[in-house]
């Protein structure tokens, strides 16, 4: 499905191709309705930031993902510390409590780091995807505009060549109609006559 930006560019192309006429005695300059063209350009300016903002929201989700991962990691560490405190409070299993507490903290820290790493990787992939999509959109617009320029250049070159051929034909026809000299009557004498 094409974006609104592409649709507006196509409307501008159609307007130039279908509704605009050449200026008198010119094969390259056209007459445009400034108000209509301004309206199309104004909408193009409005839609471009709108679509880019949509991709910026996707990129902004990276911060939300990281914040959520950090909150989960903090909760796990806090839970591990609570468990450690409970184990340490029992004197008869003091040594075991320290060992278990250290193991829990180590595991919680490793899991928390893994969550943060995964969230960072996912957020970066989302960001790269959004940037790639934006670049593809701009590349498509660049291609459409370039194609339009090539198309109009070809049309104008064809028109100029056609006019040159007409001009050459007219000159050739005039040359064939050269006015005869005044000392002759304009007719050839038949052979054998004086």
pLDDT tier at 194 (50, 70, 90 boundaries)?
Answer: very low
pLDDT tens string 1-23: 467 888 888 989 888 888 888 88
Q: How far is CA 84 from CA 56, 72, 110, 150, in A?
A: 43, 18, 17, 73
Q: Is the pTM of this model over 0.85?
A: no
Q: What is the mean pLDDT of the chain?
A: 82
Residue 87 near residue 22 (C-beta atoms within 8 A)? no
User: Is the pLDDT at 60 greater than 60, yes or no?
Assistant: yes
pLDDT of residue 141: 66
Residue 1 CA, chain-centre distance (Å), reads 14
For residue 23, the model assigns a pLDDT of 85
Q: Residue 61's pLDDT is what?
A: 83
């Amino acid at each position: 499905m094409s974006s609104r930006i592409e649709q507006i560019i196509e409307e501008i192309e159609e307007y130039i191709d279908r509704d605009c006429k050449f200026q008198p005695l010119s094969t390259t300059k056209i007459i445009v309705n400034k108000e209509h063209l301004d309206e199309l350009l104004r909408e193009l300016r409005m839609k471009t930031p709108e679509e880019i903002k949509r991709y910026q929201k996707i990129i902004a989700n990276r911060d939300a993902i990281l914040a959520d991962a950090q909150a989960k990691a903090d909760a796990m560490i806090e839970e591990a510390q609570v468990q450690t405190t409970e184990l340490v409070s029992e004197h008869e299993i003091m040594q075991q409590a320290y060992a278990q507490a250290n193991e829990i903290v180590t595991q919680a820290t490793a899991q928390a780091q893994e969550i943060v790493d995964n969230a960072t990787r996912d957020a970066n992939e989302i960001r790269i995807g959004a940037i790639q999509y934006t670049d593809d959109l701009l590349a498509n617009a660049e291609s459409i505009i370039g194609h339009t320029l090539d198309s109009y250049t070809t049309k104008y070159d064809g028109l100029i060549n056609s006019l040159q051929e007409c001009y050459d034909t007219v000159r050739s026809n005039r040359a064939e109609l050269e006015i005869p000299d005044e000392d002759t009557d304009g007719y050839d004498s038949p052979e054998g006559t004086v």
